[in-house]
Amino acid sequence: MNPAGVRARAQLLRAIRAWFADHGYLEVPTATLVPSPAMEEFLFPIAAGSGFLRTSPEFALKRVIAAGLPRIYEIGPCFRDREVGPWHATEFTMLEWYRAGAALSDLMDEVEAIVAIAAHAIDAKPPGPWRRVTVRTLFEEATGVDLAVASATDISSAEEGWDDAFFRRWVTDVEPGITQPTLVYDWPASQAALARIRDDGEWPVACRFEAYVGGVELANAFLELTDATEQRRRFASANMARAMAGEPPHPVDDAFVQAVGHMPRTAGIAMGLDRLIAALSGWESIAPGRVD
């Protein structure tokens, strides 16, 4: 255990809670033991008793938004199996917040503000300036490939599907070049997860962005899906993908699906706090700020 890291973590949490209080957000604690852990097929939950340890508080917080509370957040533990490495842990601390009526650009502004106040709280230099750039632009800058017209073989010589080819090149060729603080938006529509899809340009995109600081992915934001029928379809599609990969299906959270249909237009985001403090502190892993 690193006492200085633990102290910095406490200072950061205090500053973040103060920022949310000052901006009209209500802190909402939700259950850690849940009936359905996630929708995405690439998230692997930990079974516990009759349910699962949550991979995120997303399902519960969206039910709160649907019930009429427009600005909410939670800071708490989340759990994901098969995630090991300097920037991963089976148990980690998530900051997740939702704002009814907001656009993704509003959450981009809030990310920049929160990262700055977190840096001041631990006497670190606030990162900046921030770059806001589309996935398509960043990918073409790094690889010369235009995702809007590229096939899987255009992206990668390996025999694999489009999304696998994209992620392979993203991790090896694009992410290493994201050195300044960056907000990357307009992801491929096939990677929408729980976000809306927009198809008013040259190619359909997911209304979401990711935030990077110090080369580390810190946060993932969505303009949230509010169509319950489409949400149920995506659950079924993800479970089909899990079955094809030899993985058990995730139970469908019916209360969550119903709540999606009652949500107002909402933007939401999840940020890894262990990664935030590590990136701001210049650490090479999340370990120094944790008490394990």
Domains of the chain in sequence order: 3-130+180-289 (3.30.930.10)
Q: Which residues of 61-70 are buried (b: 16+ CB within 10 A; e: fewer)?
A: bbbbbbeeeb
Residues 6+ apart with CB under 8 A from 77: 32, 91, 92, 93, 94
How distant, in Å, are the alpha carbons of 57, 111, 165, 213 from that of 231?
17, 26, 26, 31
Stretches in the chain below the pLDDT threshold 70: 1
pTM of the model: 0.95
Determine the Cα–Cα distance for residues 145 and 139; give it in Å rounded to an integer.
7
The DSSP secondary-structure symbol of 263 reads P
pLDDT for residue 284: 86
Q: Let me know: does 82 contact 90? Beta carbons within 8 Å.
A: no
Determine the Cα–Cα distance for residues 49 and 97; give it in Å rounded to an integer.
28
pLDDT for residue 292: 72
pLDDT for residue 229: 97
pLDDT for residue 264: 97
∠ at Cα 225 (223, 226), nearest 5°?
120
Nearest Cα to 219, choosing from 263, 267, 164?
A: 267
Dihedrals phi, psi of 276, to nearest 5 degrees? -60, -50
Residues 6+ apart with CB under 8 A from 176: 215
Determine the Cα–Cα distance for residues 53 and 30; give it in Å rounded to an integer.
12
Nearest Cα to 79, choosing from 43, 53, 42?
A: 53
pLDDT for residue 1: 63
Q: Let me know: does 100 contact 65? Beta carbons within 8 Å.
A: yes
The DSSP secondary-structure symbol of 45 reads -
pLDDT for residue 42: 85
pLDDT for residue 253: 94
Determine the Cα–Cα distance for residues 291 and 215; give it in Å rounded to an integer.
24
- Rg, C-alpha atoms of the chain: 19
Encoded tokens for 108: 């981009």
How distant, in Å, are the alpha carbons of 42, 150, 161, 183, 194 from that of 200?
28, 19, 25, 21, 19
Compute how many other C-beta atoms are within 10 angstroms of the C-beta atom of residue 52. 21
